[in-house]
Homo-oligomer: A and B are copies of this chain.
């Protein structure tokens, strides 16, 4: 027999199915008495609204996709939960998927979301093979915002927004120089990626202005790489401070120093990037560039919803301000 439909409700309430539909939409043109009858019938039958059927007939608004390159990284987790909750609160539905830095999975995920009728998308894309993913969005004419990483150059179609990474790199480098550090490395980040380039650029600019030779220690944005880098700082590299690509690397550096009996904040000054929740809880507490990622996520959700509902397409490129949170890892113990 399946679930009851509006026809069953109509029959039970003794009205037509149009009337039931109007009740469902809270139309003011239904009398209170009829509305009550219908509501009671729905409750008795255990009626559940079938949104797919409704969307089929009316304009398909309401479903927003959120596609994230690495949901296990706390920075992205915090972003994704902020976006998802903002979307839900606004009465839209959100579907979120992790693409695990895999271009093929990203392409499949997007194809599935389009088939499921998303009207808009927020994507923190994987690097590589952008055509497969963004091409589909372009052909399907789906409103999509590119966030945190600029992978598609078509920011006219896919407006881009991120925290101002370059400014963050600048703040971190200037702060370290102000504390007296002179041999400052940039640790982590993979060459050729937009986020790496931007975060490094602020650092490079400041070092150049002070006549200090830069040192780029490239590597994956992970704790494991940070630990490895710590060993190199102790054994080979002559540095007294570092700006890290992100907090995971920085926390790895702290851990690596600790395992060799050295203390970050005393023997070495360190600044991370992203200010994930853990930064304040580590020992020593980690200085970090705060991107306000939860607010950023809420803002992205609001922009996409404005785009969908009012046609207000966001500007092609936006950078939100960042600030440096100074803690013991760079300010000394």
Q: Which residues of A contact B (CB under 8 A)?
A: 3, 46, 48-53, 55-56, 60, 71-72, 74, 77-78, 80-81, 84-85, 88, 93-98, 100, 105, 108-109, 112, 114-117, 139-141, 223-224, 227, 251-252, 254-256, 258-259, 277-278, 281-284
Contacts and interface: CB of A to CB of B under 8 A. Distances in A.
Given A81-B100, A85-B100, A97-B84, A48 B140 contact: yes
Contact of A74 (B46, B60, B72, B85): B72
A85 B71 CA distance: 12
Contacts of A251: 281
A281 B224 contact: yes
Contact of A93 (B71, B100, B112, B282): B112
Contacts of A227: 281
A304 B287 CA distance: 44
B95 A95 contact: yes
A308 to B, nearest CB: 16
5 contacts: A52-B55, A52-B116, A88-B109, A96-B96, A252-B281
Contacts of A97: 84, 88, 94, 96
B51 A117 contact: yes
Contacts of A278: 223
A258 B255 contact: no
A60 to B, nearest CB: 8
Given A50-B117, A259-B284, 5 more contacts: A52-B60, A52-B117, A71-B77, A71-B80, A96-B97
